[in-house]
Structure 1
């Protein structure tokens, strides 16, 4: 019995974060106030951007909190799908705007890439890892979908912008390869690979230093909520692996779609 007590893991007392009152919120706003004051002191011109960003953060998170309270209260598949559809539409438009308007018909390419990567990744973790009682359990589905879409959106924007810019700069080189008998896919293969690698750098950097340099939000939040550090570590690993796979699928699809869009039926570069 003494041995069992000696080796039993210590369970830290959970911090009660469920009773935050307005005073706590005001003190939290003090962080942004200090940042605004520092910007004014250094004459950086970031006062309004910081204030607007903070305001949007408050409104958007309170809004999503209200919506999720309704969704979680009585799980409704149609309502959950509607929430996911709105998230997908917003992510698609944001990624498309960052890529630019150099290539026509990019919206369906971006939307299809994000949709397919999200569905495939969610299906995998639902079937093999989380195993919820029903596929539409919002407690798991919506947070994971948000994590996947947010990360895949950034990856799509980086890869898409990098590839379109490179194709414009390297037009002469690509046309030279085409004139020598290369297929369109062969002529742009190296540029496509570099775009995918660039989009994966944030994920790879995070995975390389997680737990050593950084403690990500999910890990920290789980511990603050009283979860075992090992349980928190598992969920953080799951999220990092989910992000890596979803980003890679998205960037592979979106770069392939871009490469198909930039050539006409005669294998000529259109942009």
Structure 2
């Protein structure tokens, strides 16, 4: 028996895999957690969304057209922007372009450096590398933006009197919320830093697990996971810094007065 042969998942195996979700739904129902419908909906969306993505990416990978690759990336960026904006606040009028611009900047810089200095593929739009790495970076940057942005918005609303006191003592808007912004940035980086602290010891991330299952050399899989963790640390930090800076400006007018939406 060839132990290096990849075991492909067919429809029958997928149906058996769905047994895990059936068991989870049954357990939630038995415990009366109120999660039955949520788990069922999440299962259905997972199957539909990943199934559709699988077919689309198969075509894009085979086609290797730069415009098709850019279209996929645009859809990913738009979705991440909307999700992050909704998690932060829907009341800030200019939050959508701020979040979108921050995610675009951090992802573009991260992928450009990785492609030019590290991976160096034959073509810059090689979908085998660009799309998976962009998805990982965007997904994590989206979470960093949402956590940092939500923390800053809620803190500014809760500490209104303290901020106004600082302003009345001749502090600038940046000085008045500097500590709150630092705390928000740190909060946005907590998931990434925690993952880096225990990666390979407590858990194996999805990327290295997927590569190991596909038969990739374990050392090469580990090196790729290192690269990804470094990418995420930079992209998440840059996103949190930019998002909090952009949000902070929405709470002050030209006269440096605090204005809550």
Fold match (TM-score > 0.5): yes
Q: Which of the numbers 3, 7, 17 marks the counterpart of 2:7?
A: 17
* Inter-partner Cα distance in structure 2 for 1:47 and 1:101: 28
Task: Note the residue ranges of structure 2 that are not aligned, 5 or more in a row.
Answer: none
Matches of 1:14 and 1:185, distance apart in 2:
57
- 1: CA distance between counterparts of 2:227 and 2:7? 24
Question: Following the alignment from structure 1 to structure 2, what is the Cα–Cα distance between the partners of residues 187 and 21?
Answer: 58
1:44-59 matches, cutoff 5 A: 44-59=33-48
Give the 3-state SS of the residue equivalent to 1:92 in structure 2.
Answer: helix
Q: Deviations over 1:25-67 (max 9, x none)?
A: 1110000001011111111121111110000000000111111
Provide the rounded CA distance (Å) in 1 between the counterparts of 2:204 and 2:69.
30
Residue 138 (structure 2) aligned to one of 126, 144, 149 = 149
1:112 maps to what in 2?
101
Find the aligned partners of 1:268 and 1:191 in 2 and give their Cα distance: 17
Q: Report the Cα offset of residue 13 of structure 1.
A: 3.2
Q: Distance in 1 between matches of 2:50 and 2:259?
A: 42
Cα distance in structure 2, aligned partners of 1:220 and 1:144: 15
Distance 1:47 1:22 in 2: 24
TM-score by length of 1: 0.93
Please list, as runs of the form range in 1=range in 2, the aligned pairs for 1:4-43 lying within 5 A after superposition. Answer: 13-18=3-8, 20-43=9-32
Deviations 1:214-251 (A, max 9, x none): 11111111111111211111111111111111111101
| Superposition map of 1:1-271 within 5 A | 13-18=3-8, 20-271=9-260
Residue deviations 1:110-143, cap 9 Å, x none?
0000000000000000011110111000000000
4+ runs deviating over 6 angstroms: none
Q: State the aligned residue count.
A: 259
User: Is the contact between residue 126 and residue 135 of structure 1 (CA under 8 Å) also seen in structure 2?
Assistant: yes
Q: Distance in 2 between matches of 1:14 and 1:105?
A: 53
What is the TM-score with the length of structure 2 in the denominator?
Answer: 0.97
Q: Structure 1: 5+ residue runs without aligned partners? A: 1-11
Contact 1:13 1:226 in 2 (8 A): no
Provide the rounded CA distance (Å) in 2 between the counterparts of 1:204 and 1:147: 16
RMSD: 1.1
- Higher Rg of the two aligned structures: 1
Give the secondary structure class of the aligned counterpart of 2:13: helix
Q: What is the CA deviation profile of residues 200-223 of structure 1, one whole-angstrom value per residue up to 9, with x for unaligned ones?
A: 000010000111111111111111
